[in-house]
Amino acid sequence: MGKSVIVIGAGIAGIATAIRLAKKRQIVTVLEANKYPGGKLTEIHLKGYRFDAGPSLFTLPEEVEDLFKLCKVKTEDYFTYKQLDTTCHYFYPDGTFIKAYADQEKFTKEVHAKTGEPEANIHKALRKSSFLYENLAPLFMHKTLHKRATWLNGQAMKAYSRLSKFDFGKTMHQVNTKRFDNPKVVQLFDRYATYNGSDPYQTPGTLNIIPHLEFDKGAYFPTHGMHDITMSLYKLAKKVGVKFQFGTKVKGIVVHDGKAKGVNTSMGFHKSDRVVSNMDVVATYKHLLKGQSQPTRLLKQPKSSSALIFYWGIKKVFSQLDLHNIFFSEDYKGEFEHIFQRGTIHSDPTVYVNITSTQKPDDAPEGCSNWFTMINVPNNQGQDWDTLITEARQNILRKLSKQLNTDIEPLIEVEDILDPRTIELRTSSTQGALYGNSSNSKYAAFLRHANFSKNIKNLYFCGGSVHPGGGIPLCLLSAKILAENYN
């Protein structure tokens, strides 16, 4: 008989961990405070409109498929998806429009035609992104950084010989400014810092690894929407014997003689041989491990940005909009200074509009569109959010109306809002930070908590707040790393 395991939280990493441990013949129970699985990766229904509530970009689908292969079932029996021909539509304040084709050659020619940027510069940047991924992903994404063996294998030795080429000592913006001639292209490539809630003017140049995911690996869309990632894996987990208890809030992890022994909930004590926390690691220590030694240095690291999202049902279809759309700020540096230095929102924020009805028409009534309208904002530090939200809403509407040459507000027939406070409340993400720690330091990757406790035996961690980081692929990889280091 296997060991009994309690997983705290049914976020995507918690579900993936549960599947992997069940396949190790462990007896797994997932306890979730909410009445639904998925954490941030859930959905909203509003009067005929459906919205994916959280993550909206799907890359590295092989990390999802790996779980079905592990369970020896066909992925397509549970989950289907398609590759996108266009990764994003970019709109600039002066009217410049760039269609980011998935095909590198088409993308390069498009950027050159719209900005005059030499094609050679773009090709070189994408090659460098691939180089970074080839050399760094095996270490920083697929292995624990907290065991000596990781740093003594052949892949690590190969990376050491190329350290000077990884741009650790320069910021992403510094690298991109030197690499490109046109500021619009710099801004487009700087944007990738936001994929993990960071600032391109502070985060190291190694983050230029991210474009590789879109332009080499590809961007995708699940046939039934992003929420289907959650539901397909939830279905798989139940098939392999994982038990779920929803509406069950964990109040504490019980530790005795330096070992995790189970958890306390509102329904009493649940004994187990192992405990896995998919809860934000800061919240885990603060609320569930009171009285235990705290890794203060790790827990006090600056947090990533958060998000302000307006879910708008729009009574119109705009032919110039695609699944992913970016409306850039005129003052990109000022925008990030407001977020990370001032803790507030710039009057001209970059606006992201995700419209899944372009791919899945039943997400909106006929002739309508479901707009997931998001801006990057600071994490929750006690700001006057009600005032900030009101101002931001007007600034967003003004910007979109001007860019699309249409008054947007009269077209909104349904609305819901998600802000840093509600993100924190619903997902226990400290300060509503979307990705745990920010990556605004060249040491950030080394200052994430390990996927296991060094001080408490039988205690493990997964999810976006621990190694290797936030976002769907990294959350799934955190589950994989945990399972590989599980004993």
Mean pLDDT of 9-16: 98
Residue 467 is assigned to a structural domain of this protein? yes
Residue 310 CA: distances (Å) to CA of 414, 415, 447 = 10, 7, 32
Residue 370 is assigned to a structural domain of this protein? no
Residue 384 is assigned to a structural domain of this protein? no
Q: Give the pLDDT confidence of 389-429 residue by residue, as tens digits.
A: 999 999 999 999 999 999 999 999 999 999 999 999 999 99
- One-letter identity of residue 57: L
Residue 84 is assigned to a structural domain of this protein? no
Residue 360 is assigned to a structural domain of this protein? no
Count how many domains the chain has: 1
Identify the pLDDT of residue 441: 85
Question: Residue 35 belongs to what domain range?
Answer: 4-41+224-301+439-484
Which of 88, 95, 101 shows the shortest CA–CA distance to 57? 88
CB of 50 closer than 8 Å to CB of 43: yes
Residue 54 is assigned to a structural domain of this protein? no
Q: Give the pLDDT confidence of 290-326 residue by residue, as tens digits.
A: 999 999 988 899 999 999 999 999 999 999 999 999 9
Mean pLDDT of 230-251: 98
Residue 186 is assigned to a structural domain of this protein? no
Distance between CA atoms of residues 178 and 78, nearest Å: 46
Residues contacting residue 363 through CB under 8 Å, at least 6 positions apart: 49, 50, 51, 225, 356, 357, 370
pTM, entire model: 0.95
Residue 471 CA: distances (Å) to CA of 25, 66, 196, 475 = 28, 17, 7, 6
Identify the pLDDT of residue 356: 98
Torsion 180-183-189-192 (CA) sign: positive
Domain of residue 464, CATH code: 3.50.50.60
- Tokens read off for 141: 């994404």
Identify the pLDDT of residue 1: 64
DSSP string, 24-66: TT-EEEEEESSSSSBTTS-EEEETTEEEE-S---EE-THHHHH
Region label for 469, one of left (φ > 0), alpha (ψ between -120 and 50) or beta (otherwise): left
Residue 430 is assigned to a structural domain of this protein? no
Q: What is the mean pLDDT of the chain?
A: 95
Does residue 187 carry a pLDDT above 90? yes
